[in-house]
Amino acid sequence: MTVTAPPPLAPAQPPPFRLSGAQLGLIASNFLMWGGFFAVIPLITVHFAGSVESGGLGWAAASVGLVLGLRQLTQQGLTVLGGAWADRVGPKPLILAGCVLRSLGFAWMAFSGTLPVLLASALLAGIGGGLFDAPKNAAITAVTQPEHRTQMFSLASISGNLGMVTGPLIGAALLGLGFQVAALASACVYLLAAAVMGLTLPHVRPPKRPPGSGMAGLRAAANNAPFRRFTLVLIGYFLLSTQINVAITLKAIALAGPQATGPLYAVSAGLAVALQYPLLRLAERYLRVRTVLTLAVGAVGVALGLMALASTFGALLLCVGLYSLGTMLVYPTQQTLTARFAPAGQVGSYFGFSAISLGIGGALGSVLGGWLVDTGTSIGVPALPWVLLAATGLVTAWGLRWALRDLAPAVR
């Protein structure tokens, strides 16, 4: 008698992705945080560096860039430690404390009339961001199954982009009532985000405490050569991504006045809201993560280079569209890779270490963006910042291919 072998079992399908209360809370609070942030941050450039004739204070763009850069450096520098702390105490207490400190920083910023006071308030806001940044990503990782993390990070990014759409519009509307009102409103939004997290996020601790001191996870991340290369090369990308708050905003104001910030951010974030999730799913199906990253960073560099040719606000918005197509793919792929690199119990530390790229790149971008705009204008070469930024993008895209060359196929 012939025995027929049973047909091979079909591979097990992952369970469908259904959002839990904690995940919905993270998405909602992310929307509030980004909305509150972008309701006031673009207005710092408009209010303090805008011309006196248009209602600004007429400060040098480089001074405002210094403020934004130091805030960025403070936040991302502390994020390195915030991630390690999250591995010890859990992400929730740090997220709540960070939201409260960010609220106090923006409230103080409302009453800033001199550069030292503005710097101090921006530093306090940066400290708050440093406490909740990496823990928020660690919380997403903790409450999401590995097979669904790319989708969850993408949804979190979409909620952030929705905040980027609504924040500047609300901020621009509030600016008519004065910068003080806009900054105080943003401070209240962060208190609301803290309330949402307090009600929905469980107090998640790592399943196993990492051995050794609280810095063991950071040392492990720093000693992971592929992850270290990946983090350091991304400094170039974050130098470029910061220009939406500095050089691009300054050019938009020059072309269309202070009211240009609303449409500028609406196009940037609106495209991400509409296209990020389907574009990411399509890219995942056909391309390696390394390829997605290099193409996305290259697109950002090309878009910035084309801005040298934009002589109208409409042309600038077209360039911003290409810029947004690149930036919308970088965040979820970078965060997913970071979560895959991290061993159990050290997720927060890896996210904290990865903040080095955003801290250094964001600080350099904020300072250099304003300085390059001022320098290009003073020497009569307005294309200077855009040419140098485009070159940075292309070099960074090449650097990513080099940095990720040895990754195992399972990680790619």
Residue-wise pLDDT tens for the chain (412 aa)?
444 545 554 445 556 667 788 889 999 999 999 888 888 877 787 777 665 555 566 677 777 777 877 787 787 777 777 777 777 778 888 999 999 999 999 999 888 878 888 889 889 999 998 888 878 888 888 888 777 777 788 788 888 878 877 887 788 777 778 788 888 999 999 999 999 999 998 887 665 554 555 567 777 777 888 888 888 999 999 999 888 878 898 888 888 887 777 788 778 777 877 887 788 778 877 887 778 888 999 999 999 999 999 889 999 999 999 998 898 888 878 877 777 777 766 777 777 788 788 778 877 887 788 888 888 888 888 889 899 999 999 999 999 888 877 665 544 4
Q: How far apart are alpha carbons 323 and 302 in whole angstroms?
A: 8
What's the pLDDT score for residue 393? 93
CA-wise closest residue to 127 among 102, 161, 155, 90: 102
By residue count, the chain amounts to 412
Q: Is 33 inside any structural domain?
A: yes
From CA 44, how far away is CA 112, in angstroms rounded? 11
Please report whether residue 103 resides in a domain: yes
Compute the half-sphere exposure of residue 234: CA atoms within 13 Å on the CB side of its CA.
Answer: 25
Q: Are 385 and 263 in contact (CB under 8 A)?
A: no
Amino acid 391: pLDDT: 94
Q: How far apart are CA 406 and CA 227, in angstroms?
A: 11
Alpha helices in 287-346 (DSSP H): 289-306, 313-341
Q: Looking at the domain assignment, is residue 313 inside a domain?
A: yes
Helices (H) then strands (E): counts for the chain: 14, 0
Look at residue 407 and give its three-state secondary structure.
coil
Structure tokens, 126: 């940066």
* Residue 139 resides in a domain: yes
* Of 227, 324, 221, nearest in space to 267 by CA: 324
State the pLDDT at residue 113. 77
pLDDT value at residue 187: 92
End-to-end CA distance of the chain: 48
User: 246, 365 in Cβ contact below 8 A?
Assistant: yes
Q: Does 83 map to a domain?
A: yes
Which of 350, 352, 88 is closest to 211 using CA atoms? 88
In a domain, 71, yes or no: yes
CA distance linking residue 152 with residue 144, whole number of Å: 7
**CB atoms near residue 194 (< 10 Å):** 22
pTM: 0.70
Would you tell me how many other CB atoms lie within 10 Å of the CB of residue 379? 9
Q: What is the dihedral of CA 300, 102, 135, 76, to 10 degrees?
A: 50
Cα separation values, 385 from 24, 49, 197, 247, 388, Å: 40, 18, 40, 8, 5
Q: What is the DSSP letter of 245?
A: T
The count of domains in the chain is: 1
**Beta-carbon count within 10 A of 10 CB:** 6
- Cα distances from 374 to residues 84, 200, 221, 247, in angstroms, run 39, 46, 38, 10
Tell whether 411 is covered by a domain.
no
Domain holding 394: CATH number? Answer: 1.20.1250.20
Contact 65, 371 (CB under 8 A): yes
3-state SS of 57-72 is CCCCHHHHHHHHHHHH
Token digits for 284?
């995942």
Let me know if residue 8 belongs to a domain: no
176 in helix, strand or coil?
A: coil
**CA–CA distance, 143 with 17 (Å, rounded to integer):** 12
Range of the domain at 35: 21-205+215-403
Instruction: Determine the Cα–Cα distance for residues 115 and 283; give it in Å rounded to an integer.
Output: 45
